[in-house]
A and B are shown apart, each in its own frame.
Chain A
Amino acid sequence: MMRFIDVGDLLDAWEEFMSAASHSLMIKYGLRGEPSEDLVKRWLDLTNRYIADGQSREAAGHAAAKYLFPDYRTHVYASEADNIEALLRLAGGK
């Protein structure tokens, strides 16, 4: 049988997906850094198990993150816009 799909391409796609996922998890759950690929997989498994147990998607995600990431909600990623807006308000109200 001939194979047209390059396994390397699939791995690349997977890697990209994982790095995007770990970045999103870092922001969403307020982690110190991006979690490793292994940790992201475990988070996914655990979240799916919680969903199967009847929790909502959001609640399941948070519960799994709380269980797996020791730095869960230790960081707040305030956006640049928030800083600038606060400064603008201070300047205008002076």
Chain B
Amino acid sequence: MIDFHFDPATWSAIKVIGGFVAGFAVSRLTMSKAERKAHQQRLYENGKEHRKARDERSHDFQAALKAYILKVEPADLEDFHSISRAGELYFGELRMIADAILGKKIDDQVRDNTFVPDIVEALQKTIPAYYEELRRVADKIGVPFSGEFRRENYQSLVEVAEKFGRMRVPKSSW
């Protein structure tokens, strides 16, 4: 039987070399801690940028709707145009966010806490309401409007809602 009795100096040398070899092997296979941190930070910044863009679009959209609601003169084509344009831009930004999520370019926590609930709610509430109410505005002005909520136009939103939204606590239990 081999006797493993090293003096303390040899023993610590073995530990150091062993640790070195193992550490090297691990570092080749995984991102280093600093790399991981930097990567996560980038994903987070990305989410922040999207959040800012979404807030701006949402603000514009709400401003267009408010302007129309408060308008005293009869509605005209210009109103229809400004609402539909602001709406398209807002939903377009949500689509960009959904694409970024599907491409794993957004931090997981920002995704789950901020964007996924927004996207789920957009599909359930705002997008159907948008088409419904835009049609009523169009009818009032007398312009033909053939837009409707089609799933294929919002494919990436639907994918995000199905992939990440289903894991969330339903609102009724809150």
A interface residues with partner B (beta carbon < 8 Å):
2, 4, 6, 8-9, 12, 16, 19-20, 23-24, 28, 58, 79-85, 87-94
Given contacts A58-B173, A80-B118, A81-B121, contact A88 B133 (CB under 8 A): yes
Query: Are A23 and B22 touching (Cβ within 8 A)?
Result: no
Do most interface residues of chain A lie in helix, strand or loop, or is the interface mixed? helix
Alpha-carbon distance A84/B122, docked complex (angstroms): 9
Those 7 A-B pairs whose CB atoms lie nearest each other, nearest first: A92-B133, A81-B121, A87-B65, A92-B136, A88-B133, A88-B129, A85-B125
Quote the shortest CB–CB distance from A47 to chain B (angstroms): 15
Query: Are B121 and A79 touching (Cβ within 8 A)?
Result: yes
Partner of B18, one of A2, A80, A88: A2
Alpha-carbon distance A94/B138, docked complex (angstroms): 12
Partner of A90, one of B26, B65, B117: B65
- The interface residues of chain A lying within 8 Å CB-to-CB of B46 are none
Alpha-carbon distance A83/B137, docked complex (angstroms): 19
Given contacts A84-B58, A88-B133, contact A8 B121 (CB under 8 A): no
- The interface residues of chain B lying within 8 Å CB-to-CB of A81 are 118, 121-122, 124-126
How many residue pairs between the two chains, A and B, have CB atoms under 8 Å in the bound complex?
77
Alpha-carbon distance A8/B32, docked complex (angstroms): 12
Query: Are A24 and B113 touching (Cβ within 8 A)?
Result: yes
- The interface residues of chain A lying within 8 Å CB-to-CB of B66 are 87
Q: Tell me whether B6 is interfacial, beta carbon within 8 Å.
A: no
Given contacts A4-B26, A83-B62, A84-B61, contact A92 B113 (CB under 8 A): no
Quote the shortest CB–CB distance from B85 to chain A (angstroms): 14
Quote the shortest CB–CB distance from B69 to chain A (angstroms): 5
- The interface residues of chain A lying within 8 Å CB-to-CB of B33 are 6, 8-9
Listed by A's residue number, 11 A-B pairs whose Cβ atoms lie within 8 Å are A12-B37, A19-B109, A20-B113, A58-B173, A81-B122, A87-B62, A88-B126, A91-B83, A91-B133, A94-B137, A94-B140
Name, among A19, A84, A85, the residue most crowded by chain B CB atoms within 10 Å (CB to CB): A84
Alpha-carbon distance A8/B68, docked complex (angstroms): 55
